[in-house]
A and B are shown apart, each in its own frame.
Chain A
Amino acid sequence: MAYVATRGGERAIEQAERLFRAEMGTITPERINEIKAAMPYLVDRVMGEASLYDEDIAALALAQTGGELYEAVLVLRAWRTTQPRLSVADPIEQDALFTHRRLSAAFKDIPGGQLLGPTLDYSHRLLATQVLTGEAFDPVPVEPAATPAPAHQPSVSAWQAANDLVDLPKGDATRPDDIPDITREPLLFPSKRAHTLQSLARGETGGVLALGYAAMRGYGQAHPTVNELRLAEAEIVVTHPKGTKFSAGRVKVSQAEVLSKKDEKLELGFAATLGWNEVKVIAAATLDLNSAGAPKGSATEEEFFLYHTEGVESSGFCIHFKLPHYVTFQSSLDAMRDAKARSAQQKEPAQ
């Protein structure tokens, strides 16, 4: 009887979840809107890692998980994977992006111009502590430029290609439906180009940064120069079953192109992701730049960095170590004790 009474598993997990949710209280549409408005970069980061562009759903995931990022991304991915693939959007070239911010570290000025756009890069990172004492922090209004920057710019690498400094990758004629899709196929190595770029796009920001930074510090072969960084909006153009092309709206995207010199030519590394996340795309592009010919098992080898920057997998595996492992432990204990007994037997003096 007593044995049966210990079955507390189901009640325990239910109450544990209630404890977690109790702290967050009621989730309302207002809260979702507030998260969207107040934390667009957090929403962007989560959308990128989930490879799902929907600000409302991403904000909901953040609300539901109390901002536990790994949980938020998992909720989104698990929802995303059950959704049908309706259409494949047209490819977008760089000069077709509606660009908000665009920089090149390679040249002082570039065709189309350097465009600072929204950034904290040159801000002084001071806390607005007055808010804590009851005084609101009101951002100073933006003064519009006398001549507005153009919305579209050519790519820097196009100029370099025209000057025979770089070989641009050839256009890929794969039919849209045949483009390898990492959410529908396993990642195998050597990985397909599409899988590599998709994996980097949904890589976990911190992981991509850690390995990208290792490459930048010297564990990679190539030192990156940021050829072009863009924060932009991309038009999603899809084809109606009847053949009409139409815009399904715009999504925010980030992309980075980094380069280093190799013999007489420049080598490119590229990454892009949904949402605005500069750190991730620069780090990811650096990994891409370093991956060709990287030694097996090094941090810049594709297999190494793609596996280890997959946030849902890595975070899940990390927390799984909390699960009971007493059977495997018992099994090891048995082998250990037996080995110990054997060696004790051998050491006994032969009298």
Chain B
Amino acid sequence: MTIVLDAPRIVITRPLMTLKNVSKSYGAVQAVRDASVEVFPGEVMGIVGESGSGKSTLLRMMNLEDTPDTGSYTLDLPDVQGNLFELDRFARRMLCATKIGIVYQNPHLGLLMNHSSSGNVAERLLVAGERRFLVLRDKAQIALEASEFPLERLDAPPIELSGGMQQRVQLAKAIALEPALLLLDEPTTGLDVSVQALVLDTLKRLQQDRQITMVIVSHDLGVIRTMADRVIVMRRGVVVESGLADQIFQDPQHPYTQQLVHAKL
């Protein structure tokens, strides 16, 4: 078996996203302790760790759904300034709608299950101010097509679709406005292995075609290995190791990472 590796990319730009010294407690439980993450334009950052490691909390913060106790969050985009955690509710909503896309593990969190699939995608565009029906329809269709969603089901409600299809609708919604940052929270967990592979395929193709900056969270090393350029490993709220994906998988340094990688192999 031959493994085809992507050509290595040399990072020379400034990070697109910077999360600095972020800590968050829920009551007595410290979910995240002093975590820092930088993601560069066009790269895929993988966050791996077991459940309860704080990786999903970190992702929720990147989507501004949660505010840490301390720490800062910046996006290096022309019209975005300052620590995003300090934005008010209104500014957060607009920023999330226009700059950040997210795909949740649970499609109920990301979709209106009884609205049409195209409507779910169109909602994003509506929030951003699009008021032409035909344009909404066109753009929704383009985004669904890019997510490799079968267009004959354009107006079917997600409740009638399979799990894999629901994730494709979420993905279409997330990329409809061509966000600067795409967040993926266990996007294929719970899907059949064959469906999982197809969805990952789509994500990979999208990434290559559009050079979307992505952060993908998963407990599944296989998923992270398929997708990520760089990886951070989290355990009990702390980043224990970070580096290039190959480096982490070939030569893990931290005992916990070693344990993870060996268990997988």
A and B touch in the complex (CB under 8 A): no
